[in-house]
Structure 1
């Protein structure tokens, strides 16, 4: 028994030791842990240009400097500055959105959407209108009505039932043509894709009401097209002579196109679709179901090659000639993923991700509700909510009762929920049934509270989020600190800058220099001729005009003040006033140099080198500042842990 207890003790000790963070160094006894150092080192090592900094000991010194700067920023109160807090909190909210979602549910919807987008569904439907806010009685009536229509459709045929029940007011019966994912509301889409060809679906509820769907066909997705068109407006209500005139006009345009006329120009001159005419007839991308004309879509998709044009076709809008510009077949999952994510986010199906996430969080946080508190809250509401004039007795202690608890440490009271409703009631429209509306609002309130709790504790529960947030915070502080301590000071301290320049003048020297023109020539023969012209004082523009043509450039010039080691100058060239001999740079390039106003080495004036002096002064100020920072803080490196770190970095 004693041995067993001892073994368990050893196992627990080992587990505790493995989980305990190790301190790699301290600053004024404040610990910095090895896992952070290893993570930052491994993340940044490939970005380091200086090979010496890849050495762990060297990098550790840089990391210590980094932590000293952050400590200094906090001591100066920069982390409490209102501008810092506004930018940091804005980033924090944006970053948190990426972690307040159910990735598994999202991935499932992505795969579902991509798989559905491979197909197009052709369908008809009958819709009985009933809104989300309808009374239970009206909802049941609409449901029974659609069930009866389905029964009759199965008996007499869907087409016959569509003709019989469509009134364009409370009941709609429509041919929908072909559509793919995201063209219809999600519940409707789901049922359409899950219904076999030739079958009539069970009733499906959407925000519009109850539908039954008959699926007529399914085919492979045709992708998208870029097209342009020329349209001559005409509809069935126009007089016969106007319809004939429109037909003759489109035929003349078609004949001109067959004769080689430019499509863009013809569209601009003749198309009566003003939205596209001035753009050469070009439309936004089309796909099945995106326009209201199946014949237009079918004709466009029948064109084989970019540049092909259709014969004139008739739609309800008039006559069209279509030109294919480009085909866009459906991409791979990886190619389509980003676009699908955006569509899901903007689509009603996104609520399923939220619902799945909330369900998981409720289980993780041991979410519990108090039925007594909920009943008390529900009974506090009355018909005044319909007119948005509802209120309650805020001083009544009975509303302090718990409504629900999150993670055993956050209790939400009935009063909080009541106040939440009271504040927001001005936004409410069409409250039909108070109890149903409150029940729905309560679920949203619970969802919001759980999400708020998750966001508030996200850094404690998600290491990746915490690390990214910490790095952004530190980077923001570091920028503000450097601007405060170094950059602004170097720019604004003109006395200090001049003093630094005077102490380091010899670092800012002109080498031997002159006003130089370097001719780069395509052959030695041309270079010799260019040299002769330069000696005779011929202008550079005139020389280029003599030797260059639209077909070939034989000579190019580089001009300006150049120092002796300028890359444009030939090797072994000594900067001398006058025109040089010809230098062979390679078999296809020959150089000639014309130099004047030669000046010997000299100290550069401050105005001539101010940018470089400011940069050097900043480096000087930073070195001095860092030296003082290190002197002002006690730094202790744990050599034992450092030795372990050296074995683990890069892994």
Structure 2
């Protein structure tokens, strides 16, 4: 239920603490020390300097939190199957965040934030090769570097040597690139090479690369546009190109005369992925599409601005800007840092931090290779060659390694090979017998480290406890408050009767609130209803795939983008407002206007009533808990905090 979700934030924020000998308060036979309380307070209070009232308010909040947690544990709610499953699912969800080296992760996050501050315009020389046959490409790359060293311009060198024919004609220019667009090594090559200088030669899995940054700009973020594409086929004749250009020009004239962009896109655009959505494309960042296309898109200075027709290899385009999304790059901002950390965790570059963490895992688990000979490698080679005599080299009970108290034997490796033979043998480039054996050891090391990570990583253990305690509070609140209130219709009615005077409407309207998945349709539907408010049903039927509506009585403050200057009356249709969070657009149609202070009936009050009744039940529960677990505050310790 919504109230349960609303409770999540304060629950997670309450956890704090390291152990200390100074007990601040006891509850029953349990205690909380000063340092735990202060750690939690500092984590969740921005009042500077802290006031005695801030401390006192938080003390009551923290006491209530500890009482609820203890009640949940004493009821053994932590043993419920749903609780066990939730903690297991959460553990799996977050564990990867702790399987990387903190120092490396911090570097990667801050580097990514720095890269994402700006876009880089890059030219390149691309020299592909197949498999291990790299000699020809390498020799050509050396020739390109020699030419550049002797003074040849990069554009000329790209035209001469690059195998990317599409960009070689443009001096190797591949356009603007942004962070996370290229594989990480190439991103570093682009961002770390000085402007107007060529990079060192870089070898990827299938090519040699030389980069040449030509410009930088502050990152414009991501942009969402709608487009009308008049396609020209590859190899189109001049007459066909002229015809496409004339059609694009005629559509642009219609737009200048006020025609609807979405209608024109639906009826004319050759972009099969967007025409059915009034031409609206997914948001994109620099480096996603053709450089000319992106230059035109990012040149649009405001929402709803429309470009003149322009040509790319796909044809002639007309663009309309929907929205621009700009992101914070401040590493000192916790939310910004956390968001970027999530992007890094989901990018292949995280493997750098994982590799660094392997060393720590070996140290923390006490990993030790026992067998020091080349027998495992020789056994591996015999296994894949089907050499039965060679397979006898490794005895089933031969001790290979220890990971803490766990021992790995020859039979463990044999079983692993039997299960993983196919994927291991198909890996490219091929793994050596030594690498295969090392892969086995690493997998078992990571497995053991993951299974007992709480023992090795205090931060992980703390986060698990925070989640477990928070989840238990939900369960306890469900039992003691939420379900009781939801199912106690007679109690709700009694509470309403006793407090009926407090349930009154503010200024309100009976209205229809519309939510539309794209702004072009929102504007179109809004204009239709502004001209004829009676067409609600027909509009919802016509646009049922993209428009939803919610009818009811709304206080002014509940209406999307309501402002005090609005004069609301029956038939009023608000402007469509774009929501950057969900990329939807909203507007409302007023049916009837009501003054303030009209009484709410029981049904109209239900949402507010349920919240208030739950609060009353919670207070009664807290009073019971304080009797069950008497709370005693140590005055001397408390005075050392507030004075």
TM-score after normalising by structure 1: 0.62
8 Å CA contact retained: 1:230, 1:271: yes
* 1:296-311 pair list within 5 angstroms: 296-311=293-308
| 1:276 CA displacement | 2.3
CA distance, structure 1, for counterparts of residue 485 and residue 309 of structure 2: 72
Report the structure number with the largest CA radius of gyration.
1
The answer for the alignment partner of 2:228 in structure 1 is 230
2:313 aligned with 1:321: no
CA distance, structure 2, for counterparts of residue 329 and residue 621 of structure 1: 46
Counterpart among 241, 258, 261 of residue 260 in structure 1: 258
CA distance, structure 2, for counterparts of residue 429 and residue 61 of structure 1: 59
Counterpart among 438, 442, 447 of residue 442 in structure 1: 438
2:345 aligned with 1:353: no
Counterpart among 407, 418, 422 of residue 422 in structure 1: 418
8 Å CA contact retained: 1:38, 1:649: no
| 1:188 CA displacement | 1.8
2:375 aligned with 1:376: yes
| 1:217 CA displacement | 0.8
Change in Cα spacing, 1:326 to 1:411, as seen in structure 2 (3 Å) is same
The answer for the alignment partner of 1:5 in structure 2 is none
SS of the residue aligned with 2:307? coil
SS of the residue aligned with 1:105? helix
The answer for the alignment partner of 2:107 in structure 1 is 108
* 1:521-540 pair list within 5 angstroms: none
Change in Cα spacing, 1:69 to 1:393, as seen in structure 2 (3 Å) is farther
Please, which moves more after superposition, 172-181 or 389-398? 389-398
2:83 aligned with 1:73: no
The answer for the alignment partner of 2:215 in structure 1 is 218
| 1:381 CA displacement | 0.8
CA distance, structure 2, for counterparts of residue 282 and residue 108 of structure 1: 37
CA distance, structure 2, for counterparts of residue 643 and residue 285 of structure 1: 58
Residue-by-residue CA offset, 1:413-454 (whole Å, 9 max, x unaligned): 454444334323343462467652651662574266257426
* 1:81-230 pair list within 5 angstroms: 81-117=80-116, 118-131=118-131, 134=132, 138=133, 143=138, 146-147=141-142, 150-151=145-146, 154=149, 175-207=173-205, 209-215=206-212, 217-221=214-218, 223=220, 224-230=222-228
Count of equivalent residues: 521
Change in Cα spacing, 1:139 to 1:81, as seen in structure 2 (3 Å) is farther
The answer for the alignment partner of 1:270 in structure 2 is 268
8 Å CA contact retained: 2:122, 2:212: yes
Please, which moves more after superposition, 375-384 or 118-127? 375-384
CA distance, structure 2, for counterparts of residue 519 and residue 203 of structure 1: 69
CA distance, structure 2, for counterparts of residue 79 and residue 398 of structure 1: 40
CA distance, structure 2, for counterparts of residue 239 and residue 310 of structure 1: 25
| 1:213 CA displacement | 0.8
CA distance, structure 2, for counterparts of residue 205 and residue 557 of structure 1: 73
CA distance, structure 2, for counterparts of residue 39 and residue 460 of structure 1: 25
8 Å CA contact retained: 1:100, 1:451: no
Change in Cα spacing, 1:379 to 1:123, as seen in structure 2 (3 Å) is same
CA distance, structure 1, for counterparts of residue 610 and residue 301 of structure 2: 63
Structure 1 unmatched runs, 5+: 1-17, 521-547, 568-608
8 Å CA contact retained: 1:230, 1:321: yes
Please, which moves more after superposition, 117-126 or 443-452? 443-452
| 1:141 CA displacement | 7.4
Residue-by-residue CA offset, 1:270-310 (whole Å, 9 max, x unaligned): 22223222333332334432112x22222333344444433
CA distance, structure 2, for counterparts of residue 216 and residue 614 of structure 1: 62
CA distance, structure 1, for counterparts of residue 425 and residue 162 of structure 2: 29
8 Å CA contact retained: 1:123, 1:176: yes
